[in-house]
Amino acid sequence: MSLLRCIECQSDFPTSQRIYTCPKCSGLLDVVYEVNEFQGGHLTNAWDQRRASPKSVDRSGVWRFRELLPEAGEAEIVTMVEGNTQIWDAPRCAEYAGMNRLSFKHLGMNPTGSFKDLGMTTGVTQAGRLGATSVACASTGNTSASMAAYAARAGMKAFVFIPSGQIALGKLSQALDYGAVVLQIDGDFDDAMRLAQEVANESPLYLLNSVNPFRLEGQKTIAFEMMQQRGWQAPDRVIVPGGNLGNSSAIAKGFHELMERGVIARMPKITIIQAEGANPLYRMWLRYRDREGADDLKLEPVIGATTLATAIKIGNPISWPKAMRGLRWSAGGVEQVTEQEIADAKAMIGRDGIGCEPASAVTLAGVKKMVAAGDVNPDEDVVAILTGHVLKDPDFTVNYHAGALSYVGKTGEKVALESRYANAFAHVPAERDAIMKALGF
Ligand code: F0G
């Protein structure tokens, strides 16, 4: 049996109630489960057996773990057999970061190319259980692409609010192709998010941003699947990009539940990396670490957040209280990285034959910085989470390799980035000799 519980005032509400935050105190809600016979080896045996099943709900990297998910009948589940994403060793990236080894779990290998699918399978399933026929979200791109796909699978209407001209083209093209109604808002993500919440409170639209706790239940299975792939041995540290802070919160909850159920003995340190121009959690973390007021600190939004990693261009993240909880549970931390560091790290992830979108590359940039500062030991067992596929934002990649990447700085000035690991194009006349010469023969 699952319940909704406010993380602030601890009030409980039934999961059949259509609420996004606590009706009493506006706190964020968790889905919680009564502790039952599902513990330790019982869980892992059932979960391991399902990997060999021919059924979609068993093979899904989310629903495979359904003992710790909100109840849903098999016919109600909207799944694209998401998850099942690989963990890859990245030796060049490890060397780049100064680590002895480093691995990536690439959530960009999900059906729509980002980790959002893990949350949308549970979110859209819950929408159906509540009788919703239309769903909505604000998005920097991936949430809208994923919601549009899952809504289409479920026969629901999708409405997406995106900051005009500020999302990567791959993501926009997906939302259009999957049939969503796309509203380009003249504002940034924080404006779109505020408006989507206001509209959802006054209309039949069911909101599927990560403020919705059912989304995060799907995303917490990132921790479950990672542990299953590693034979239930936790790494020392898990590195996650931070934008609206839903994913880092969800992963922390996943590890915490595994610990509570006796599946793992300790939590990996959850380490969140933000872009320097969109770093409200990092700023808050510095104040928290310095113990100025400790637990009653509030996040101060960054107005006009800026970064070329548009997925995480967010100044007022909704889930910050849950992200802080995850940091406390796991003795984790927060780091920030520059635009140059993100661009170079992304190119290095490409060199390992893996590739990712810019927001995902903050992970490698963050580890490198933390190793250099002595905050991460080169011997640590670290898994970094890549959140989006390399094809999501081809403009960024091509501009980097063409030496043409630039961003607008805080005072409106254009700042050119160096393409330190560029793989430049060769322009060659359409002649055999010229080609042989260009090839070096
Ligand atoms: N990486 C990618 C590729 C993302 O799309 C996002 C968020 C994040 C990291 C950050 O995750 O918000 O849970 O902290 N994208 C959202 C969207 C905001 O609308 O697609 P977070």
Please state, in angstroms and rounded to a whole number, the distance separating the CA atoms of residues 352 and 236.
Answer: 22
Give distance in angstroms: CA of 243 to centre of ligand 1: 5
Cα–Cα separations (whole angstroms), residue 431 to 219, 396, 436, 437: 52, 31, 9, 10
Mean pLDDT of the 245-273 span: 97
CA of 201 relative to ligand 1 center, distance in Å? 23
Nearest atom in ligand 1 to the alpha carbon of residue 359 is 1
Choose among 420, 428, 422: nearest CA to 402.
422
**124 contact partners, CB below 8 Å, separation of at least 6:** 78, 135, 147, 150, 151, 153, 154, 156, 208
Q: How many Å apart are CA 321 and CA 299, to the nearest integer?
A: 8
| Residue 225 CA to ligand 1 centre (angstroms) | 19
Q: What atom in ligand 1 is closest to the CA of residue 360?
A: 1
pLDDT tens digits, one per residue of 368-396: 999 999 999 999 999 999 999 999 999 99
Q: Cα(143) to centroid of ligand 1, in Å?
A: 7
* Residue 362 CA, distance from chain mean position: 12
3-state DSSP helix/strand/coil percent for the chain, to nearest 5? Answer: 45, 15, 40
Beta-carbon contacts of 145 under 8 Å, excluding residues fewer than 6 positions away, are 112, 113, 114, 116, 139, 171, 174, 175, 178
Task: Answer whether 149's CB lies under 8 Å from 175's CB.
Answer: no
pLDDT digits (tens, 9 = 90+) for 141-173: 999 999 999 999 999 999 999 999 999 999 999
pLDDT on residue 139: 96
Whether residue 410 has pLDDT greater than 80: no
d(C-alpha 265, C-alpha 273), whole Å? 25
Q: Helix, strand, or coil here: 259?
A: helix
Give, for ligand 1, the residue of 114, 251, 308, 334 to mutate: max count of ligand atoms closer than 8 Å to Cβ. 114
| Ligand 1: nearest atom to the Cα of 247 | 13
* pLDDT tens column, 9-54: 999 999 999 999 999 999 999 999 986 667 788 899 999 999 999 9
Percent of the chain with pLDDT over 90: 93
Q: How many A from CA of 52 to the centre of ligand 1?
A: 31
**Which helix (DSSP H) or strand (DSSP E) does residue 142 occupy?**
helix 142-154
- Residue 342 and residue 307 in contact, taking contact as beta carbons nearer than 8 Å: yes
Residue 290 has pLDDT above 90, yes or no: no
Nearest 10 degrees: CA dihedral of 195, 196, 201, 207?
-170
Q: 113 C-alpha vs ligand 1 centroid, how far in Å?
A: 12
Give nearest CA residue, ligand 1 atom 12: 244
Nearest CA to ligand 1 atom 15: 311
The preferred substitution site among 167, 247, 271 for testing ligand 1, maximizing ligand atoms within 8 Å of CB, is 247
Ligand 1 pocket test, pick from 171, 194, 244, 393 with the greatest ligand atom count within 8 Å of Cβ, gives 244
The two beta strands, 2-6 and 29-33, are antiparallel
Q: How far is the CA of 393 from the centre of ligand 1 (A)?
A: 14
Burial of 41 (0-12, 13-18, 19+ CB in 10 A): exposed
Distances (CA, A) of 339 to 68, 208, 307, 365: 38, 30, 7, 10
What is the position in ligand 1's atom list of the atom closest to the CA of 245? 14
Q: Tell me, what DSSP letter sits at residue 268?
A: P
Mutate which of 140, 144, 209 to test ligand 1's pocket (most atoms within 8 Å of Cβ)? 140
Q: Which atom of ligand 1 is closest in space to residue 171's alpha carbon?
A: 20
**Distances from the Cα of 221 to the Cαs of 124, 128, 275, 308, in angstroms?**
16, 21, 25, 29
Q: What is the mean pLDDT of residues 307-313?
A: 97
Cα 117 to ligand 1 centroid, rounded to whole Å: 12
Q: How far from the centroid of its chain's Cα atoms is residue 313's Cα?
A: 13
Ligand 1, atom 4, lies closest to the CA of: 311
241 CA: nearest ligand 1 atom:
9
Radius of gyration of the chain (CA): 21
Give the Å distance between the CA of 244 and the centre of ligand 1.
6
What distances in angstroms separate CA 298 from CA 60, 319, 361, one per listed residue?
A: 37, 12, 28
Please give the distance, rounded to the nearest whole angstrom, from the Cα atom of residue 387 to the centre of ligand 1.
8
According to DSSP, the β-strands at 103-106 and 87-89 are antiparallel
The residue-averaged pLDDT of 311-336 equals 97
pLDDT confidence band for 293 (50 / 70 / 90): low
pLDDT in tens, 232-244: 999 999 999 999 9
Which tokens sit at 206?
Answer: 């069911």
Q: Are 222 and 118 in contact (CB under 8 A)?
A: yes
137 Cβ contact list (under 8 Å, min separation 6):
143, 144, 147, 159, 160, 161, 196, 207, 208, 209
Q: Given this model, what pLDDT does residue 425 score?
A: 87
58 contacts: CB under 8 Å, gap ≥ 6: 50, 51, 64
Q: Residues 6 or more apart from 37 whose CB is under 8 A from it?
A: none
Phi first, then psi: what are they for 144, rounded to 5°?
A: -65, -40
Q: Of all atoms in ligand 1, which is nearest to the CA of residue 139?
A: 19
Ligand 1: residues whose CB is within 6 Å? 114, 116, 139-143, 210, 241-248, 311-312, 357, 359-360, 387-388
Instruction: Check if the beta carbon of residue 87 is closer than 8 Å to that of residue 105.
Output: yes
pTM of the model: 0.97
- Residue of 142, 143, 161 with the most ligand 1 atoms within 8 Å of its CB, for mutation: 142
Q: For 187-227, what is each residue's pLDDT tens digit?
A: 999 999 999 999 999 999 999 999 999 999 999 999 999 99
Q: What backbone phi and psi angles, to 5 degrees, belong to 434?
A: -65, -35
